[in-house]
Chain A
Amino acid sequence: MATKIELETGGSVWKVLVKQGDQVEEGQTLFIMEVMKMEVPYDAPAAGTVTALNVSEGDVLEEDFVAAEID
């Protein structure tokens, strides 16, 4: 089952470190948000393939946005 990576807070996307289709390890950083001048990394909760990636650098997004899916 695909795991959804949802944003815990609103903010802007600072860096995207993976591409759709990439194989990722558990704990690997997928993308980094900037929230209140702090960089907040979002890490893969489990190993798998990035099946969806809905963030691009510079995007300003709201809380609960589904940023990526890993299967």
Chain B
Amino acid sequence: MSWEPEADEIKRRRALALEQGGADAVAKQHEKGRLTIRERVEGLLDPGTLDEVGVGAGASERGEDGELKSFSPANFVLGFGKIDGRRVIVGGEDFTMKGGSPSDAGLRKSVYTEQLAIQYRLPLIRLHEGAGGSVGGSGSGRPSLPAPVFATARFKSVAQVMATVPVATAAMGAVAGLPAGRLVASHFSVMSKSTAQVLTAGPAVVERAMGEKKTKEELGGAAVHTKNGTVDNASEDEPDALAQIRRFLSYLPDHVWELPPIGPQDDPVDRQEEALIDIVPRERRRAFDMRRALKLILDQDSFFEMGKGYGRSQITGLARLNGQAVGVWANDGKFLAGSMTADGAQKARRFMEMCQTFHLPIVSFVDEPGFMIGSKAEQEATIRHGANAVLTAALTTVPWASVMVRRSFGVAQAAHYGPEGYVLAWPSAESGPLPVEGGVAVAFHREIAAAEDPDAKRKELEEMLAKRQSPFPRAEAFSVHELIDPRETRPMLCRWVDRIQPLLPPLVGPSAFSVRP
């Protein structure tokens, strides 16, 4: 007798696994405007490339005659697949079963995800929707046996994977507890504005413990978490979240033993944009649009901003210069004058760590007036977080190019220059221990107080000192590599990119420090 009956059952079980929580549960998921995990995975990967792992994991019931009565698959889908032809690992909770709260087999597959990514050295994508453990147990009806005391620490691989391969995550529905913890343990996270909330604990638990009555959206909607930095980006909907993950991964290597792939080289390296000559107003107090400057300088449409909603005085994102993937960091003078706030410093620190981990050269466009000041800033521990960013920059080993676009002041400006970095200055560059507007009032307080018209005296002193901010002594003293016409920025940076190519291969391997969430 052959093994045909078992082969048939394998086929049946596989078919049942594809049904997920059943037609009703899937319809309910769709009614809420959300996709199922299988639809998400399909939307993420190149068509037909899902190569699943553990399809047969789950729980079954047999009749008295040994016939298969039912099979419920593990509520976590895991597999290999391809994005733009490059292999990745993808995993995610299946909300149509137990609301994504892990079943026995679901939990096993879920914790295996990181190990698989580390072992095969492949980028990891987790698509989250669901809660963590439940006091009701795993739903198997049996009390589950607690893990042995000698089991490997659950979060060791979650930490290791971040030092090994790019990790991108998405919140697609309500994500709470363990999945929320794993959502933020990533280099890039995105949440769907229309369907997702991220919650340390949901409304029922919060009301019971804290007496606070809030909806899921109020507690942890995109408006909350893109502003506090829990999640990097918001997306309009689920397909947009998947598109952002594909885009993010396009700049990164598969793992730390590789360099980032070179992208298209179809934007002329000698392109000089006229608009750059007057993009920085001569009126020193007038803010300008830094994002527009970035757009004019970087490879066309290559800037992918991350963390736009928080730490907004600092702009961070990935981009290309003649196809070379680079990390871009700039100040936004329109937001709190571009100053280094506590959250801006944390955002920049985490960004530098990611660039360091994946050998992305950093290009910084500096318009830094210094650390944010005032009582709110003191309460937020700005100097601690700011110093952390400054020291992080000092420890990086990736190549840096810094363009002094405008202001470069105080201790905070040091964070914008890496060791042995290439430094270019625009004629609008100003630097010093602190901007003249603040410094004059302190350094000349006696003279100002003694003047007949103190306000006029202060302005006169400010004007005088501002005039001394001529860019030419900086070039004469060789305190920058070159003083340049702003229109030359792209050609100069593209030449630098060419020059640093031999410096990149020796960087491969694990970094001395890596990203912490």
Report the minimum CB–CB distance from B313 to chain A (whole Å).
9
Q: Would you list which residues of chain B between 333 and 354 have a CB under 8 Å from chain A?
A: 333-339
CB closest chain-A residue, reference B288: A41
Find chain B residues with CB under 8 A from A34 CB. 285
Structural contact, B287 and A38, CB atoms closer than 8 A: yes
Structural contact, B287 and A8, CB atoms closer than 8 A: no
Report the minimum CB–CB distance from B338 to chain A (whole Å).
8
CB closest chain-A residue, reference B333: A38
Q: What 0/1 pattern do residues 93 to 110 of B give for CB contact below 8 A with A?
A: 000000000000000000
Report the minimum CB–CB distance from B251 to chain A (whole Å).
27
Task: Determine whether A9 belongs to the interface, using a CB cutoff of 8 Å to chain B.
Answer: yes
Q: What 0/1 pattern do residues 31 to 60 of A give for CB contact below 8 A with B?
A: 000111111110000000000000000000
In the bound complex, how far is the Cα of B285 from the Cα of A41, in angstroms?
A: 11
Structural contact, A35 and B285, CB atoms closer than 8 A: no
Q: Would you list which residues of chain B between 431 and 458 have a CB under 8 Å from chain A?
A: 435, 437-438
Find chain A residues with CB under 8 A from B283 CB. 39
In the bound complex, how far is the Cα of B360 from the Cα of A63, in angstroms?
A: 35
Known contacts A38-B287, A39-B287, A40-B287, A8 near B334 by CB under 8 Å: yes
Report the minimum CB–CB distance from B498 to chain A (whole Å).
36
Structural contact, A9 and B285, CB atoms closer than 8 A: no
Structural contact, A37 and B287, CB atoms closer than 8 A: no
Known contacts A36-B369, A37-B437, A9 near B336 by CB under 8 Å: yes
Structural contact, A38 and B285, CB atoms closer than 8 A: yes
Structural contact, A39 and B336, CB atoms closer than 8 A: no
Report the minimum CB–CB distance from B449 to chain A (whole Å).
20
Q: Between A and B, how many residue pairs show CB distances below 8 Å?
A: 35
In the bound complex, how far is the Cα of B367 from the Cα of A62, in angstroms?
A: 24
Report the minimum CB–CB distance from B46 to chain A (whole Å).
37
In the bound complex, how far is the Cα of B286 from the Cα of A34, in angstroms?
A: 9
Report the minimum CB–CB distance from A3 to chain B (whole Å).
18
In the bound complex, how far is the Cα of B283 from the Cα of A38, in angstroms?
A: 10
Known contacts A36-B369, A37-B437, A9 near B335 by CB under 8 Å: yes
Chain B at the A interface: SS class: loop
CB closest chain-B residue, reference A36: B337
Find chain B residues with CB under 8 A from A39 CB. 283, 285-287
CB closest chain-A residue, reference B283: A39
CB closest chain-B residue, reference A32: B286
Find chain B residues with CB under 8 A from A8 CB. 312, 334-335
Structural contact, B287 and A41, CB atoms closer than 8 A: yes
Find chain A residues with CB under 8 A from B336 CB. 9, 35-36
Find chain A residues with CB under 8 A from B333 CB. 38, 40
In the bound complex, how far is the Cα of B438 from the Cα of A35, in angstroms?
A: 14
In the bound complex, how far is the Cα of B308 from the Cα of A8, in angstroms?
A: 12
Structural contact, B334 and A40, CB atoms closer than 8 A: yes
Find chain A residues with CB under 8 A from B286 CB. 38-39, 41
Report the minimum CB–CB distance from A38 to chain B (whole Å).
4
Report the minimum CB–CB distance from A70 to chain B (whole Å).
19
CB closest chain-A residue, reference B312: A8
Find chain A residues with CB under 8 A from B369 CB. 36, 38
Q: What 0/1 pattern do residues 404 to 417 of B give for CB contact below 8 A with A?
A: 00000000000000
In the bound complex, how far is the Cα of B333 from the Cα of A13, in angstroms?
A: 17
Report the minimum CB–CB distance from A40 to chain B (whole Å).
5
Report the minimum CB–CB distance from A65 to chain B (whole Å).
15
In the bound complex, how far is the Cα of B338 from the Cα of A9, in angstroms?
A: 11
In the bound complex, how far is the Cα of B283 from the Cα of A40, in angstroms?
A: 12
In the bound complex, how far is the Cα of B292 from the Cα of A41, in angstroms?
A: 15
Find chain B residues with CB under 8 A from A40 CB. 287, 333-334
Find chain A residues with CB under 8 A from B338 CB. 38
Structural contact, A37 and B285, CB atoms closer than 8 A: yes
In the bound complex, how far is the Cα of B335 from the Cα of A71, in angstroms?
A: 26
Find chain A residues with CB under 8 A from B435 CB. 37
Find chain B residues with CB under 8 A from A38 CB. 285-287, 333-334, 337-338, 369
In the bound complex, how far is the Cα of B337 from the Cα of A39, in angstroms?
A: 9
Report the minimum CB–CB distance from A5 to chain B (whole Å).
14
Q: Would you list which residues of chain B between 297 and 340 have a CB under 8 Å from chain A?
A: 312, 333-339
In the bound complex, how far is the Cα of B283 from the Cα of A8, in angstroms?
A: 21
CB closest chain-A residue, reference B334: A40
In the bound complex, how far is the Cα of B337 from the Cα of A5, in angstroms?
A: 19
In the bound complex, how far is the Cα of B272 from the Cα of A57, in angstroms?
A: 39
CB closest chain-A residue, reference B438: A37
Q: What 0/1 pattern do residues 264 to 293 of B give for CB contact below 8 A with A?
A: 000000000000000000010111000000
Find chain A residues with CB under 8 A from B287 CB. 38-41
- Of residues B283, B285, B339, which shows the largest number of chain A Cβ atoms within 10 Å of its Cβ? B285
Q: A8-B312, A35-B335, A38-B369 are in contact. List 7 more A-B contacts (CB 8 A).
A: A8-B335, A34-B285, A35-B337, A36-B336, A38-B337, A40-B333, A41-B286
Q: Which residues of B contact A (CB under 8 A)?
A: 283, 285-287, 312, 333-339, 369, 435, 437-438
**15 pairs, A vs B, C-beta closer than 8 Å:** A8-B335, A9-B335, A34-B285, A35-B336, A35-B337, A36-B337, A36-B339, A37-B337, A38-B286, A38-B337, A39-B285, A39-B286, A40-B287, A41-B286, A41-B287
Which A-B residue pairs are the 6 nearest by beta carbons?
Answer: A36-B337, A38-B337, A40-B287, A39-B286, A39-B285, A38-B287
